[in-house]
Copies of this chain bind each other. A is one copy, B any other.
Amino acid sequence: MSEKLEQLKERLGEVSDIGRAASVLGWDQQVNMPPGGNEARGQQLATLSKIAQEKFIADEVGQLIDDLKQEFAGDDSDDAALIRVAARNYDKSKRVPPEFIEEQAIVSSKAFEAWVEARKKSDFSIFRPHLERVVELVHRYISFFPAGNHPYDTLLDDYEPGMKTEEVKAIFDGLRPKQVKLIKAIAKSKQVKDDFLFKKFNEKKLNDFGVNVITRFGYDWTRGRQDKAAHPFETTFSVNDVRITTRYEDDNPIAMLFSTMHESGHAMYEQGVNPAYDRSPLGGGTSMAIHESQSRMWENLVGRSLPFWEYFYPELKKTFPAQLDGISLKSFYKAINKVEPSLIRVNADEATYNLHIMLRLELEIGMVEGTIAIKDLPEIWNTKMQEYLGIVPPDDVHGVLQDIHWSGGSIGYFPTYALGNLVSAQLWEKIRKDIRGLDDQICKGDFSELLGWLRKNIHQHGHKYEPQALVEKVTGSKITPEPYVRYLTKKYSEIYGL
């Protein structure tokens, strides 16, 4: 290995070590930390993030990358990919002044507090001045980068490397009318019953059931663990230590199962990355959408499918005989797939979820273009909810104040959720072609061939390919809404007898 490459890898390895150390501190903060620990923990995380940034944007690193870019030009090796991704990250990091990052941290922290306060009183006007500052900073952030076709491209690129606003718009434009049409058709059909899902379910038993399910999926417990946290998430400390959290909700107990499956999908992705990429920018999943495709696949394409429950329902019924007394497999399957326009994104079903995202994307683009004033957000929100889903929030908590993202300056993130759904179905069509008898395997609780396929085609590559390139490499086409529409239409035609 070239001496310079070795130097670069060592430096990037250190930066990665610091980032992963910060992840351990973040995980601990959400899973274990006593309340008193908060202030010092914030300080520790700020110091780690500052040092990682200093180490990364040092001039020697830039020099090494420049020299190596020439040495590896036109090369398709892992090393060339590593240099490419490092160069990309370096360029982005270098453009943003450290003082800006500091200012953004302060503004976000205040905006977050205001958001919490605004939610308590369900009063958008408390959050409004803070969101205005956040959006100002977003405009400044965009100004550090060369002007692209659309200012939103810069934001999107942080979550979906290489993805353009025009592409996302085109995809969503193709998707929207078909999803709206499907939802309208479902609305005219007889609604399914799901009241039994909201009985009391013992938390410990539900948790154990979830553990059993993801063990069957192939989540590797020797390289991970599951804890309780207020919000479910996945976090990576190395390819050999990938952890997830779960939670029990009194008013929706069964959600715990699907949340566990969802996070295990993220985790199995991270556990499946080529171990040689660890401590380098090639480690970890390549984008938020690809990540979400994995979590949604295990949660929905697998976890809300009939074959899955053919295997697991008898066991669930044995675990909860009182709650599921007299409920057939078919009734249970229909209940967990009930479609109903609802106000809160995170609780939305598969058929309506993407519409929540499209609404947010339109607002974000409006804010970035300056065509939507922050003060008008609640009204526009409510109008669009009426238009897409036929319901209007009774207050801002159930409307424009529901998501944490904007308070933290995360504008450009939302579309990745919907893209993840699309990719999950697009991969699924290919998987069904490649794996004969997939349904039979799932009916038997055997997920090994499925996980093997994902490892080989998606997981192992880590950050080597950008999301569009990866999807095209695997399915022969860039991200497209058709498979998802076909998937929804088929599934709900059966369930609702359309």
Contacts and interface: CB of A to CB of B under 8 A. Distances in A.
Interface in A15-41: 17-18, 20-22, 24-25, 28, 32-41
A389 interface: no
Give the interface centre of A22, A35, A240 by most chain B CB atoms within 10 Å: A240
B21 A25 contact: yes
A43 B13 CA distance: 9
Contact of A279 (B13, B20, B43, B237): B43
A24 B18 CA distance: 13
Nearest to A220: B36
B47 A237 contact: no
Interface stretch (A81-89, A130-138, A221-229, A460-468): A221-229
A21 B40 contact: no
A17 B43 contact: yes
A237 B29 CA distance: 12
Nearest to A23: B44
Given A37-B237, A40-B278, A41-B237, A18 B48 contact: yes
Contacts of A36: 220, 222-224, 238, 240-241
Contacts of A34: 221-225, 240-241
Given A21-B48, A28-B24, A47-B14, A40 B225 contact: no
A51 interface: yes
Interface string A34-74: 11111111011001101100010000000000000000000
Contacts of A240: 34, 36-40
Interface string A225-251: 101000000000111110000000000
B223 A37 contact: yes
Given A14-B51, A28-B28, A51-B14, A21 B44 contact: yes
Given A34-B224, A51-B51, A223-B37, A44 B25 contact: no
6 contacts: A17-B43, A24-B44, A34-B222, A34-B225, A40-B241, A40-B279
Interface of A: 13-14, 17-18, 20-22, 24-25, 28, 32-41, 43-44, 47-48, 50-51, 55, 220-225, 227, 237-241, 278-279
Given A21-B44, A32-B227, A37-B237, 7 more contacts: A17-B47, A20-B40, A21-B21, A21-B48, A40-B237, A40-B278, A44-B237
